[in-house]
Amino acid sequence: MPLLSIQNLNTVFYSKKGEVKACSNINLDLEQGEIVGLIGETGCGKSVLGMSVLNLLPNNARISGKIIYKDLDLLNLPSNKMRQIRGKEISLLPQSPATSLNPVVKIGSQILEGFQLHRGMKKDIAINSSIKILNLLGLKNSEKNFKYYPHQLSGGMKQRILAAISITGNPSLLIADEPTKGLDALMKAQVVDLLHKLTKETGTSLLLITHDLKVASSLCDEIAVMYSGEIVERGSAEKVLNNPYHPYTQGLLKSMPEKGLHPIKGYSPSLLEKLPGCRFYSRCPLRNNKCNNSEVPYKEIDGTYVRCFGFD
Amino acid sequence: MLAFIAKRFLLLIVVLLGVTMMTFLLINIAPGDPAEMIAIARYGLENITADEIEQIRQSEGLDDPLIIQYFCWLGHVLKGDFGRSLITGDPILKEISARFPATMILAFISLIISLLISIPAGIISAVKQNSCIDYLTRTGAMLGTSIPNFWLGLLLILFFSVTLGWLPVFGYGEVRHIILPSITLGTGLAAIITRLTRSSMLEVLNQDYIITARSKGLYEKCVILHHALKNALIPIITIIGMQLGHLLEGTVIVESIFAWPGIGKLLVDSIFARDFAMVQACVLLFAILFVIINLVIDILYMFIDPRIHYKKEG
């Protein structure tokens, strides 16, 4: 049984302009200790999917479908039970370290509150444990840092502090939301190293949300490619990145600088738009009449699930 | 830090010079002969003669040029001598210090009442955005900001004192006497702070660090009161500081309505009686309070927002 199983997940935001369908019919499984990458361009609904699992979306969002974690149905859990899951079972490594730490609360307190809540530790024991974790993450002199406020730390330090916070509860699943966004090459490598260490040493599963294909390829076991709210291709990282089937995945890979920087023409459709067929239709080089008219089913080709009529 | 406070005190002197000069000018521009008013107050309307008025003019220095009158007064004040009331002849310092506590009690109680109502109301309104309770709070806050306090005061007297007979119309010294004046004075402030707390909380609750806090599995109470409120308080403190000045302003009207024996009423009475010396002293006191409140707020910032430090410039 998978650790996390997302079944037919639909996340809709109700806005003044209409219904924004950020995730539609998402199916995704994550095994214990596995690293699954969720890749796709900005605005395709990757982060919303991650936040749906934690049930941390704004009030105007409606989530339907099923999210099964261990044997709990997360979407039907009372809010107090869901709160106990957060941080302890499933935790979040948020994007943008610059804004994800509370600017008016000391670092120490922000790290320790998780320890005290999830492990019932006394303050001095919690301090020792968090220093151990910060050392593991390569942050020396961490006791001194405890007295600082976030604005007194560098971006890399904040990232590590956030990483430490996300593993304080010893979670079984970590959701990393664009952990390398806006970082320079050196920092990026450090974060990849960090995530690798975290998952391999503790056996934590990782749902890695990223638009950085290089980061995804160096970390992930499995990869799901998202486009305009849907998963269009899903399979082992090696196959998806080296031998992609879906024209979007192919286009995404071609747009990498190493592969000649050929961007996909056109724009992805607004999530407000309801389309009868494939959402990639207008940009697809392989489109035919069928694509624009009927719901596209998943097709299994050589262990990879692809949502495209092009392989019939 | 100390340098910052010293700098602010230097600024205080400039502000106070400006304020006293302005009031001195304004009082003298106002119509009516002060010497005549003083003579009427001292001897009664029927008994005064032109000679007596002239005598008062001479003895109080009222025929000197304005600038000389001003510096003469300033010189005395610097020596700690505020002079005597032109009407009653009592020392001004004695009169003001006797009335000062009444104003401070009224302002303080009003502040406490309005904070106790507005901050929780604003938080609840923000957390339960667009709910019934949010609409109620917002309507209440809008009414509170639009109702002028002289009207609210009269309305409260009419209802609670005249119709129901629960509370006294005026008086001083007991708890029941302060209820109506402090509600009258505090309503406007409470309404403003409620609206500000709501909008400030709404903004903070959308920040990334609130998601981080929630993702840790913290209790919602801790997320709201510890993580969100601490950030939301920064603009709230600013506005409270600015509004405290208006609260002092409000005492002038509210004290007059409820015959509250404070500085506000003293100021109004002195203006009507053309008791220049008294008016000047009251205005000076208000100005000092105003500037000190602002200084205290600036210092408070440092404790609330660790990003602010006055030690380093810029």
Encoding tokens for residue A175? Answer: 């959701």
Best of B215, B301, B305 to substitute, by most chain A Cβ atoms within 10 angstroms, is: B215
**pLDDT of B72:** 84
Interface size between A and B, measured as CB pairs under 8 A: 84
Report the alpha-carbon distance of residue B102 to residue B208 in Å, rounded: 47
Could you give the count of Cα atoms lying within 13 Å of B33 in the half-sphere of its Cβ? 10
Minimal Cα distance from B228: which residue of A? A102
Candidates A215, A149, A121, A135; CA nearest to A176 is A215
Tally of CB atoms within 10 A around B190: 26
pLDDT for B310: 64
Q: Any bridge partners for residue B84, and if so which?
A: B91
Instruction: Compare all CA atoms of chain A with the CA of B303 and give the residue at the minimum distance.
Output: A104
The C-alpha atoms of residue B131 and residue A105 are separated, in whole angstroms, by: 30
Asked if B209's CB is within 8 angstroms of A99's CB, the reply is yes
CB proximity B221 to A under 8 Å = no
A15 - beta bridge partners? A18
Nearest to B217 among A83, A101, A151 (CB): A83
A261: phi then psi, degrees, rounded to nearest 5: 55, 55
3-state secondary structure of B124: helix
Would you call B151 an interface residue with chain A, using a CB distance cutoff of 8 Å?
Answer: no
Q: Which residue has the higher pLDDT, A183 or A110?
A: A110
CATH label, A4-89+211-304, candidates 3.40.50.720, 3.40.50.300, 3.40.50.150, 3.40.640.10: 3.40.50.300
Interface list for B 115-144 with A (CB within 8 A): 129
Cβ–Cβ contact A87 with B under 8 A:
yes
| DSSP per-residue letters across A165-206 | HHHTT--SEEEEESTTTT--HHHHHHHHHHHHHHHHHH--EE
Average pLDDT, integer, range A77-102 = 90
Inform me whether the C-beta atom of residue B227 falls under 8 Å from chain A C-beta atoms: yes
The pLDDT value given to residue A156: 81
Name the residue with tokens 């067929």: A277
Contact present, A146 and A107 (Cβ < 8 Å): yes
B175: amino acid identity, one letter: V
Per-residue pLDDT, averaged over A51-60, amounts to: 90
Q: Which CATH class is domain B100-264+296-304?
A: mainly alpha
**CB A159: neighbour CB atoms within 10 A?**
27
Cα A28 to Cα A56: distance, rounded to the nearest angstrom: 19
pTM (2 d.p.): 0.81
The beta-strand segments (E) located in B151-246 are none
Residues 6+ apart with CB under 8 A from A56: A86, A92, B211, B214, B215
Q: Nearest-CA neighbor of A247 among A278, A215, A216?
A: A278
The size of chain B, in residues, is 314
A101 to chain B: which residues are within 8 Å by CB? 209, 212
Rg (CA), chain A: 20
Residue A121 tokens, joined: 């530790």
Mutate to test the interface with A, among B130, B205, B210, B211 (most CBs of A within 10 A): B211
Write the CA distances from B303 to A111, A151, B222, B233, integer angstroms: 21, 15, 20, 11
The answer to whether residues B240 and B297 touch, using CB atoms and an 8 Å cutoff, is: yes
User: pLDDT tens, A243-279?
Assistant: 888 999 998 888 888 888 888 888 888 888 888 888 8
Which residue bears the tokens 């707020």? B297
For residue A35, the model assigns a pLDDT of 93
3-state secondary structure (DSSP) of residue A16: coil
Rounded distance between C-alpha atoms, residue A127 and residue B138, angstroms: 44
Q: Examine the pLDDT at A164 and tell me if it is beyond 50.
A: yes
A108 to chain B, any CB pair closer than 8 A? The answer is no
Closest by alpha carbon to B137, among B185, B195, B186, B205? Answer: B195
Beta bridge partners of B267: none
Tokens standing for B138? 């917002």
Which residues in B lie closer than 8 A to residue A51 (C-beta atoms)?
211
- Chain B within 8 Å of A166 (Cβ-Cβ)? yes
Nearest to A278 by CA among A225, A241, A243, A232: A232
Q: What gap in Å lies between CA B44 and CA B67, rounded to an integer?
A: 30
* pLDDT for the residue B288: 84
Domain spans in chain B, listed from the N-terminal domain onward: 100-264+296-304
Task: List the end-to-end C-alpha distance of chain A, in Å, as a whole number.
Answer: 31
Tell whether A88 lies on the interface with B, counting CB pairs under 8 A: yes
For residue range B278-291, what is the model confidence (pLDDT) as tens digits? 888 888 888 888 88
Please answer whether residues A306 and A232 qualify as being in contact, where contact means their C-beta atoms are separated by less than 8 angstroms. Answer: yes
Q: Is the dihedral of CA A299, A300, A305, A310 positive or negative?
A: negative
List of chain B residues with pLDDT < 50: 312-314
pLDDT of residue B311: 57
**Which three-class secondary structure state does DSSP give residue B174?**
coil
Residue of B17, B28, B25 lying closest to B62 (CA atoms):
B28
